[in-house]
Amino acid sequence: MSTNPTIPTNPAAPAVRLSGVGKVFGSTHAVRDVTLDIRQNEFFSILGPSGCGKTTLMRMITGFEAPSEGTVELGGVPATGVPAHKRDLNMLFQSYALFPHLSVAANVAFELKVRKLRPKAEIAGAVREALALVRLDGYGDRSVSQLSGGQRQRVAIARALIARPSLLLLDEPLGALDKQLRAEMQLELKKIQREVGVTFVTVTHDQEEALTMSDRIAVMNGGRVVQVDTPEGVYERPASRFVASFIGTSNFLTGTSDGHALSVEGLGVLPLPKTDVVGEAHLAVRPENVGVCGKEPAVPPGSAALRGTLQQSVYLGGTVRHHLALADGSTFVAQTHASGAAGLTPGGPAWAHWRPDAARLLAE
């Protein structure tokens, strides 16, 4: 996709502003009433399960799709109705879309040459700078067929950034890489984004990827944005049961809150963290915030404890995941350090316990 903008943008305005944006395909509402600002020079992720509308939302930002309702602004300038090639942005696809018959340098220079965005005399220098940015100095003469998956992705990033767009959109950018390389490239992408000072917007279903790379995350479900926050915020302070279950793993206890305690059928009354939630509610507790032991613990006032039966303990390296069967037939999970749980025997009694600030109460 080309970066040959004809409409000047305002660097003081949000990089992207979506106001009441929706998209309808026939009778299907793919995106519903999305309003959010993406700040200049931030790494922003749109995260959600397959079919949640995140790719459609990205396509409306790029101009590949027109909103059925609402408006899109780029750098403070209305973009609704502006064709994709007139927007000051570029896009990195999961497939990379490299030309196998061209060298690395020719791939990176392709857009500059075709769109005549730089004088011919400046192109070689621009290509060297772009390859240095992605740690591929000296690779210009190689064929892309000689490169590893991670190196191909770096070439694609260099090509996307060589014209210095105001905004780079990335569609599942690490999906084609193996797990170890994906983890390395998460850090590399964030480092590159900081160095170039370009706003990055990535679309992904990978929670770890979004948590690792992002300054902020928009979580989508059913065509709607259900929470926008920092990685710490969406993990530690989820706004709904969906967010708490989609990002990471949570235990849920459903009952009735009076603001001080939660009554759970079959399990009794559990003390609550400070909350304004009254009525039907879910108590969410992350496994890593749960302690477990083989005899009834002496918990501090306000802390909670549940008795269960240890089903199994799964060794995960530095940690162990313990699965407890509770009296109501549900399963509760605690994840501790390998040496953090004593006196546990499969089939024997086990108590899960946690501090008040380790739990979060979510309205039904």
The answer to whether 233 and 357 have CB atoms below 8 angstroms apart is no
Q: Each residue of 282-333: pLDDT tens digit? A: 999 999 999 999 988 888 888 999 999 999 999 888 899 999 999 999 999 9
Kindly state the average pLDDT of the residues 336-347.
80
Per-residue pLDDT band at 4 (split at 50, 70, 90): very low
Tell me what pLDDT residue 262 has. 94
Tell me what pLDDT residue 268 has. 93
Helix axes 179-196, 149-161, angle to 10 degrees: 20
Tell me what pLDDT residue 116 has. 64
Per-residue pLDDT band at 3 (split at 50, 70, 90): very low
Whole-number Cα distances in Å, 89 to 31, 53, 167, 250, 272:
22, 21, 5, 38, 47
Give residues with Cβ within 8 angstroms of 214, minimum separation 6: 43, 44, 45, 202, 230, 231
Per-residue pLDDT band at 117 (split at 50, 70, 90): low
Give residues with Cβ within 8 angstroms of 183, minimum separation 6: 212
pLDDT at 239 over 90: yes
How many whole angstroms separate alpha carbon 325 and alpha carbon 78?
A: 56
Q: Each residue of 31-44: pLDDT tens digit? A: 999 999 999 999 99
Would the pTM count as exceeding 0.85?
yes
Kindly state the average pLDDT of the residues 42-56.
96
Q: Each residue of 165-213: pLDDT tens digit? A: 899 999 887 776 777 778 888 888 899 899 888 999 999 999 999 999 9
Q: Residue ranges of the domains in the chain?
A: 16-236, 251-363
Tell me what pLDDT residue 5 has. 46
Q: Each residue of 56-115: pLDDT tens digit? A: 999 999 999 999 999 999 999 999 889 988 899 998 877 778 888 889 999 999 878 766
One CATH from 3.40.50.300, 3.40.1190.20, 3.90.650.10, 2.40.50.100 for 251-363? 2.40.50.100
Q: Residue 350: which H helix or E strand, with range?
A: strand 349-354
Q: Which residues pair with 23 in a beta bridge?
A: 31
How many alpha carbons lie under 13 Å from residue 190 in its C-beta half-sphere?
15
Mean pLDDT score of the chain, rounded to an integer? 89
Q: Other CB atoms closer than 10 Å to residue 10's CB: what's the count? A: 12
Architecture of domain 16-236: 3-Layer(aba) Sandwich (3.40)
How many whole angstroms separate alpha carbon 26 and alpha carbon 30?
A: 10
Give residues with Cβ within 8 angstroms of 4, minimum separation 6: 85, 86, 115, 117
- Residue carrying structure tokens 């519903």: 32
